[in-house]
Every structure is written in structure tokens, then in C-alpha cells.
């Protein structure tokens, strides 16, 4: 297993990651969360945290809270990429949170050897379109693109002075061969995590991300108080399981374009991919399946339903028990999972079509920093 912010390889041992990173295991019992609690939060897809309890407490006390979650535009987006943004929307709807969405075109340009500037620029726009299709409130949401919204540079300089090379190397797995842009980039992502506080003064900011992004949260926490800010909180998830392995990560790097579910896939394509590739916890023959039953805990179709798509607690228990007993067959389970995923993606695609009927520049503009916000970012940090 190898997990850094830029590389995830092999079978992921989530408990070991938690110990290595030093985050706390998440237990939401006893936390007073808004109801209904977001599915991936209720079912343990988010499984670790830093100060999430304090974040919830601050919201309970009526204090301002914000969310930051971003996207590295290395290509078009698949199902696993969009889920953090639906999480952000839940916090916006339920806690009235301000949401900041940074797009790190610089990061992907620096890290991916093959990508040209024009590639990351066009992926950035393509990705913004999908992210906006989630349906954020333009009054309470801002999107920034690193290489376009250049006022992020100055705070990044302030921040970068407070992190040593040896910290960067230890946390991010940098090597002697890493280009110097790559060494600097983490300062940009630290600034992303601070932006709500830079705009609105010190307050609790939560970053819901997959656990590979935790190193950014750790350095941001270490530096925050020295520049007058509150320590960043983190809500850390597992990876969206890949179609072919319950403990792998949905990704284009090994399986190619065909083995992920794209946001643009239609109902038939989704069904075909699930039928053909989704790893099954069932038995090889119907006969054996009826006799011995299946294993839902390693069945990718079941896991998708459990973590993301089957809201109904009674129904998911029925599916789990039916599958384990052998009453529910793999084909039936896959069919149901494909339908639920298609329902979700069709709703996403409809919102996207509606967005595309408007002038795209206007839409993006309505989610960009306002003049006074740009000024606040530019003026921040003089005293440091
Ligand atoms: N580094 C993230 C990725 O590779 C993208 C990202 C940029 C991000 N800024 C962020 C994620 C801030 C969470 C918070 O996908």
C-alpha cells in the first residue's frame, strides 16, 4: 500500500492509515448533527476526523462555520470525484455553511508530467461545470482557480515561510527529483483551507476529504495559530471503491477509461459496467450462492448502496441479510445498484443541462470572488 496526496496504490488498510496519520476515529453517536444525517457520514464512509466535534459544537452555538473542499483538474470527473461536493452541499443546506471550492490547476500541472497548461485549464472549466451542477447557493459559495485567481499568491508566500522543506518532504513524500513548484504547492493548498477565515475572520473551517489529503490539514493546523487563525478541522473519508476491488480506489490510472463510472455515463452504460466489472461477493454459481450465501462486506455493488445510494435503513438491512443468506442473487443486487446510481447521475446530468442553457461565463462569474473579497485577500497578512 502506498498513500500520498498524489498517489494511491494497492490495497488500502484504513485502520493503519489512521494510526500513521494520527487522526482520531470518528464516532458520531453523541454528536448533535442535523437530521437526516448525510448517508456517508451515518454509514461510516467518513471514518476519521480532526476537531469535527468542535466544528459541530460551534455550529450548535450559532457561530459561523465554513467548508473547504477542492478539485485537482487532471481530467473529466467520475462518480468518486463528485461525492465530496454533495457532502459540502449538505453542510451548506443544513448548517448554512459558507463553501469555498478551490481548483488546483497548478497542482495537476506540476505533478502530472504529461499535462500541458492548456490541458489543466480546460479540465478546470469542465470540472467547474460539474461541481456547479451540484446546486450550490451563489450567495454562500465561491470557486477559485489557482492560476487564474492570482490573489492567492501573496498569502501563499506568507504561509510558505512557516513550513520547512523537511516537513514538506516528510509529509508529502517529496524526493530529490520533485520539481520546485511541487515543493511550493502545498502552501497554496494551505491557503485554500484558510480562505474562509481570511475573508470572514477567524472561525472553524471543516475540510471533508479522502484521507490521502490529510497531510495538508495537518500542516495547516500547525501553522494556523501563528497567523491568527483557528486550527482547521478535517472530516476524513475512505476512497470510493473501484469497480474491481472493494479496497482499491476508483481511478483511471490502472483500469483505463472503461472501468470507472463517469458523470456523463447514461443508464445503459452504468448498468453494463456494473454487470461486467463490479467485484462480487457472491458465489460462482446460482446453486452455490443459494446454498452458501454471499458476502456483502466485500461486494462493490453492495458497498455503493450502503455508503452512498440506499437511504432507507430497513431496505439496506434487507438487502444485506438477503444477500448473506443466498436469497438475493448477485445479478439482482447489481441490477438494483445500477438503477440507484443511474437515478443519482441522471438528476446530476439534468441540473447540468439546465446550467448549460445559461451563459457559462455569467454562471462562473456569479461564483467568483467579488471585488471586496479580492481586496480582503490582498490586504491580509501585512503584519506577518
Ligand atoms: N489536492 C486535491 C486533489 O488532488 C484538490 C484540492 C485542492 C483540495 N485544494 C483543496 C481538496 C482543498 C480539498 C481542499 O484532488
pLDDT in tens, 125-160: 999 999 999 999 999 999 999 999 999 999 999 999
- Residue 219 shares a structural domain with residue 73: yes
Using an 8 Å Cβ cutoff, are 323 and 299 in contact? yes
Does any domain span residue 381? Answer: no
Whether 371 is in a domain gets the answer no
Q: Is 69 in the pocket of ligand 1 (CB under 6 A)?
A: yes
Tell me the best of 72, 74, 206 to mutate to test the pocket of ligand 1, counting ligand atoms within 8 Å of each CB and taking the most. Answer: 72
The answer on 230 and 312 residing in a single domain is no
Nearest-atom number in ligand 1 for the CA of 68 is 14
- Distance between Cα 141 and ligand 1 center (Å): 16
Give the Cα separation of 200 and 341 in Å (integer). Answer: 38
- C-beta 68 within 6 A of ligand 1: yes
Q: Residue 207 sits in which domain range?
A: 2-243
pLDDT at position 256 over 70: no
Q: What does the pLDDT read at residue 253? A: 65
Q: Specify the pairing of strand 46-50 against strand 24-25.
A: antiparallel
Range list of H helices, 43-114: 52-60, 79-95, 105-111
Distance (Å) from CA 3 to ligand 1 centroid: 15
Q: What is the CATH number of the domain that holds 53?
A: 3.40.50.620
Ligand 1 binding pocket includes 192 (Cβ within 6 Å): yes
259-273 pLDDT, tens digit each: 899 999 999 999 999
* More confidently predicted of 3 and 293: 293
- For residue 94, being part of any structural domain is answered with yes
Q: How many CB atoms lie within 10 A of CB 73?
A: 27
Are 287 and 228 in a shared domain?
Answer: no
Tell me how many domains the chain contains: 2
Mean pLDDT for the stretch of residues 73-80? 95
Same domain assignment for residues 63 and 109: yes
pLDDT value of residue 194: 98
- Model pTM score: 0.96
From 243, 276, 306, the end of a domain falls on: 243
- Residues 146 and 293 placed together within one structural domain of the fold: no
**Is residue 246 lining ligand 1, measured as CB closer than 6 Å?**
no
72 touches ligand 1 (CB under 6 Å)? yes
Residue 157 and residue 8 in one domain: yes
**How long is the chain?**
384
Nearest CA to ligand 1 atom 1: 72
Q: How confident is the model at residue 258 (pLDDT cuts 50, 70, 90)?
A: confident
Residues 165 and 306 in one domain: no
Residue 96 has pLDDT above 70, yes or no: yes
Looking at the domain assignment, is residue 248 inside a domain?
Answer: no
For residues 5 and 141, the model is more confident at 141
70 lines ligand 1 (CB under 6 A): yes
pLDDT score, position 2:
82
Confidence band, pLDDT 50/70/90 cuts, at residue 289: very high
Q: Which atom of ligand 1 is nearest to the CA of 81?
A: 15
- Residue 372 forms part of a structural domain: no
| Closest to 142 in 3D by CA, of 366, 359, 362, 361 | 366
Same-domain check for residues 296 and 199: no
The pLDDT value recorded for residue 254 is: 55
Q: Would the CB of 107 count as within 6 Å of ligand 1?
A: yes
pLDDT digits (tens, 9 = 90+) for 168-211: 998 888 888 999 999 999 999 999 999 999 999 999 999 999 99
Same domain for 237 and 302: no
In a domain, 28, yes or no: yes
Q: Indicate if the pLDDT at residue 97 is higher than 90.
A: yes
Residue 9 and residue 90 in one domain: yes
pLDDT for res 20:
87
Select from 188, 41, 163, 34 the least CA-distant residue to 96: 34
220 with 340, same domain: the answer is no
Separation between Cα atoms, residue 317 and residue 322, nearest integer Å:
8
CA dist., res. 62 & res. 26, Å (int): 23
**Among residues 243, 276, 299, which one ends one of the domains?**
243
CATH number at residue 306: 1.10.240.10
Helix, strand, or coil (residue 148): coil
Tell whether 51 is covered by a domain.
yes
Amino acid at each position: 500500500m502506498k498513500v500520498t496526496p498524489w498517489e494511491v496504490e494497492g490495497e488500502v488498510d484504513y485502520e493503519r492509515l489512521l494510526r500513521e496519520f494520527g487522526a482520531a476515529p470518528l464516532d458520531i453517536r453523541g454528536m448533535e448533527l442535523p437530521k437526516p444525517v448525510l448517508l456517508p457520514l451515518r454509514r461510516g464512509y467518513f471514518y476519521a476526523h480532526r476537531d469535527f466535534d468542535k466544528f459541530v459544537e460551534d455550529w450548535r452555538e450559532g457561530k459561523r462555520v465554513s467548508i473547504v473542499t477542492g478539485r485537482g483538474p487532471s481530467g473529466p470527473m467520475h462518480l468518486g470525484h463528485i461525492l465530496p461536493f454533495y457532502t459540502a452541499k449538505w453542510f451548506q443546506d443544513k448548517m448554512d455553511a459558507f463553501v469555498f471550492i478551490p481548483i488546483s490547476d497548478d497542482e495537476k500541472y506540476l505533478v502530472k508530467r504529461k499535462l500541458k497548461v492548456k490541458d489543466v485549464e480546460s479540465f478546470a472549466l469542465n470540472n467547474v461545470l460539474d461541481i456547479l451542477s451540484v446546486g450550490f447557493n451563489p450567495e454562500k459559495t465561491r470557486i477559485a482557480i489557482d492560476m487564474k485567481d492570482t490573489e492567492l499568491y501573496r498569502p501563499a508566500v506568507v504561509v510558505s515561510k512557516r513550513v520547512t522543506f523537511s516537513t514538506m518532504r516528510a509529509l508529502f513524500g517529496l524526493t530529490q527529483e520533485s520539481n520546485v513548484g511541487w515543493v511550493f504547492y502545498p502552501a497554496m493548498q494551505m491557503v485554500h483551507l484558510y480562505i474562509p477565515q481570511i475573508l470572514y475572520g477567524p472561525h472553524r473551517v471543516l475540510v471533508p476529504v479522502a484521507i490521502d489529503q490529510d497531510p495538508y490539514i495537518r500542516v495547516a493546523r500547525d501553522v494556523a495559530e501563528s497567523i491568527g487563525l483557528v486550527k482547521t478541522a478535517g472530516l476524513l473519508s475512505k476512497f470510493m471503491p473501484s469497480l474491481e476491488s472493494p479496497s482499491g480506489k476508483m481511478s483511471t490510472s490502472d483500469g483505463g477509461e472503461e472501468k470507472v463510472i463517469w458523470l456523463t455515463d447514461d443508464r445503459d452504460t452504468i448498468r453494463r459496467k456494473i454487470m461486467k466489472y463490479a467485484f462480487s461477493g457472491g458465489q460462482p454459481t446460482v446453486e452455490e450462492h443459494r446454498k452458501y450465501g454471499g458476502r456483502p462486506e466485500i461486494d462493490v455493488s453492495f458497498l455503493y448502496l450502503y455508503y452512498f445510494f440506499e437511504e432507507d435503513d430497513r431496505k439496506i438491512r434487507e438487502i444485506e441479510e438477503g444477500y448473506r443468506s443466498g436469497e438475493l442473487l448477485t445479478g439482482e443486487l447489481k441490477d438494483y445498484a445500477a438503477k440507484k446510481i443511474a437515478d443519482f447521475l441522471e438528476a446530476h446530468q439534468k441540473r447540468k443541462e439546465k446550467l448549460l442553457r445559461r451563459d457559462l461565463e455569467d454562471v462562473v462569474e456569479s461564483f467568483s470572488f467579488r471585488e471586496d473579497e479580492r481586496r480582503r485577500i490582498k490586504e491580509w497578512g501585512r503584519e506577518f
